[in-house]
Amino acid sequence: MNTEKPLLIKRLWVVSFSLLLVLFAAMFLGLSLGSSHSGIKAVFQNLLGIGPQDPMLDTIIWKIRFPRILLATLVGGTLSLGGLVFQAILKNPLAEPYILGISGGSAIGAIIGILMGLLRFPGVSLMAFSGSIGTLLLILVMSSGHTILKKDALLLSGVMVNAFCGAVIMFLVSLTQDARLHNIIFWLMGDLSMVDMPQVGILAAMLLPCFFLVFWFSNSMNLLLMGKEMAQTMGINVKAVTVTLLVATSFMVSTTVSYCGLVGFVGLVVPHLLRLLFGPDHRVLVPACVLGGGAYLVFCDVLARTLPDQGEMPAGVITAMIGAPLFIYLLKKTRR
Partner 1 sequence: MAIDVKNLNFFYGNIPALKDLSFSVTQGDFFIIIGPNGSGKTTLMKVMAGIFKPKTGRLKILNRTLENYTRKDLAQTMAFVPQMMPVDFPFSVIEVVLMGRSPYMGMLGIEQETDLKIAEQALAFTGVDHLAHRKLDQLSGGEQQRVFVARAICQEPEIILLDEPTASLDLAHQIRLMDLMEKLKNETGITVVMVSHDVNLAAMYCDRLLLLKNGEMVCLGPPDEVLTFQTLEAAYGCTLLVDESPLGKVPRITPVPHKYIHRE
The CA distance from 96 to 269, in Å, is: 10
Among positions 149, 170, 234, 243, the unique one binding partner 1 when judged by CB under 8 A? 234
- Residue 250: closest CA among 114, 119, 163, 128: 128
The CA distance from 297 to 149, in Å, is: 32
CB of residue 12 to partner 1, shortest distance in Å: 10
Among positions 24, 171, 212, 216, the unique one binding partner 1 when judged by CB under 8 A? 216
Query: Does the protein bind partner 1 through residue 48 (CB under 8 A)?
Result: no
Contact by Cβ (8 Å): 89, 221: yes
Query: Does the protein bind partner 1 through residue 147 (CB under 8 A)?
Result: no
Query: Does the protein bind partner 1 through residue 225 (CB under 8 A)?
Result: yes
Closer residue to partner 1 (CB): 209 or 279: 279
CB of residue 278 to partner 1, shortest distance in Å: 11
| Ranges within 89-128 binding partner 1 (CB under 8 A) | 91-93
DSSP code, position 265:
S
Among positions 38, 222, 244, 306, the unique one binding partner 1 when judged by CB under 8 A? 222
Binding mask 174-213 for partner 1 (x = CB under 8 A): ----------------------------------------
For the CA atoms of 251, 269, 157, 313, what is the dihedral angle to 10 degrees? Answer: 80
Three-state secondary-structure class, residue 24:
helix
Among positions 57, 66, 280, 324, the unique one binding partner 1 when judged by CB under 8 A? 280
Among positions 157, 162, 218, 254, the unique one binding partner 1 when judged by CB under 8 A? 218
Other C-beta atoms closer than 10 Å to the C-beta of 141 total 11
Residues binding partner 1: what is the number (CB under 8 A)?
A: 35
Assess whether the previous peptide bond of 122 is cis (omega < 30° from 0). Answer: yes
Contact by Cβ (8 Å): 76, 270: yes
CB of residue 322 to partner 1, shortest distance in Å: 23
The CA distance from 108 to 170, in Å, is: 10
